[in-house]
Structure 1
């Protein structure tokens, strides 16, 4: 039970994946973003299976900061695209939406995901005697929760979308979401610099 409480509390907290889900809902793209949610869940499943069966040997803590650097660069790119886009409510249906690979990449390069997985697979699984096929089953259930986090943020965004009709406010919110992504990227960059012993 503590495994699910721990993973859900971390996955449902604000972060780059959830900010992107919220933005998709705000821009009226909720129904076209399901591939993104599935990509996030699949990434978590793959990571859980790899770390669950092979353990910490796949990616020792000493190399985690390199994942943080890649994640930060990708988040900065997504933030730039978000801030520089000028939202036209009539044109959102033609705008490129978040897809499966966007979700898979951002979740795989998100150090937060790996930091969720490592304690679960190296400490909680062995303590709870979760081995063999149980690793796959528990990993699948947690991955469903991972896909649900940006889904719920996107759904919340759709509720706000219905209440806001002026495109100026959508563009401002889009900019704020981009700035939040930049802040998330700065934290990832901080993890990289700390790992390189620059801080």
Structure 2
């Protein structure tokens, strides 16, 4: 890959990674509820999960989706169920920082799984690989995935940091409860858009 492509690839990866989406919303909420250190497990899992998805798409998974188009529909419905589950957890959160243990702690596995159920991840992967690694060269696919890995990790860490920052400065449980409820509504809106695509 030529050096002059690194900048546009990085810009594409940053725009797709740092913009609001389900995984970023969960990073923000987890940062506010569990702190930055614990949330980095989610950040790491989501980054590895997305990079693995990106590699699979670059190596031909998107061709499989053309053969089995119903898989995409099932994936969208699984994403809807997962988003509703996460939204429910946020709605039930008390806002008490001491009660954070009662809420599901961020984990590597759930972060990775989220990316595979995240429509935004699929929407970023397929056109990204098509635009920057369309010849299917293993070297190009790996380089694109490595750039995306760094940018994705940074972007999710920023969301987690903002959540942890908010928790340090907004200690009132009422405010944290309303933050989590707002984030839950955003997740439900994302789920709603997914459902509309299926009709």
Taking structure 1 as the reference length, the TM-score comes to 0.87
Q: Does 1:146 align with 2:152?
A: yes
Deviations 1:159-198 (A, max 9, x none): 221211211111111111111111111112222x1xxxx3
Correspondence for 1:89 among 92, 97, 110: 97
Q: Distance in 2 between matches of 1:65 and 1:148?
A: 30
CA-to-aligned-CA distance 1:43-89 (integer Å, 9 cap, x gap): 11111111111152122394433322111110001100110122322
Secondary structure (helix, strand or coil) at the match of 1:87 reads coil
Does residue 177 of structure 1 match 2:177?
Answer: no
State whether residues 29 and 92 of structure 1, in contact with CA within 8 Å, keep that contact through their aligned partners in structure 2. Answer: no
Query: Which residue is equivalent to 2:169?
Result: 163
Q: How many residues align?
A: 191
Q: How far did 1:93 drift?
A: 5.1
Query: Which residue of 1 is the match for residue 110 of structure 2?
Result: 102
Structure 2 CA distance for aligned equivalents of residues 151 and 183 of structure 1: 23
Unaligned runs of 5+ in 2: 1-6
State the Cα distance separating 1:105 from its structure 2 match.
0.9
Q: In the alignment, is the contact (CA less than 8 A) between 1:49 and 1:139 conserved in 2?
A: yes
Give the Cα–Cα distance (whole angstroms) in 2 for the partners of residues 149 and 189 of structure 1: 27
Which structure carries more helix by proportion?
2
RMSD: 2.0
Instruction: Please list, as runs of the form range in 1=range in 2, the aligned pairs for 1:24-173 lying within 5 A after superposition.
Output: 24-54=30-60, 56-60=62-66, 62-63=69-70, 64-92=72-100, 95-126=103-134, 131-173=137-179
Task: Please state how far the C-alpha of 1:94 moved relative to its aligned partner.
Answer: 6.2
* Residue-by-residue CA offset, 1:86-113 (whole Å, 9 max, x unaligned): 2322232564311011111111111111
TM-score w.r.t. the length of structure 2 is 0.87
Task: Indicate conservation of the 8 Å contact 1:55/1:121, yes or no.
Answer: no
Tell me the residue number matched to 1:14: 20
Structure 1, unmatched stretches of 5+, are none
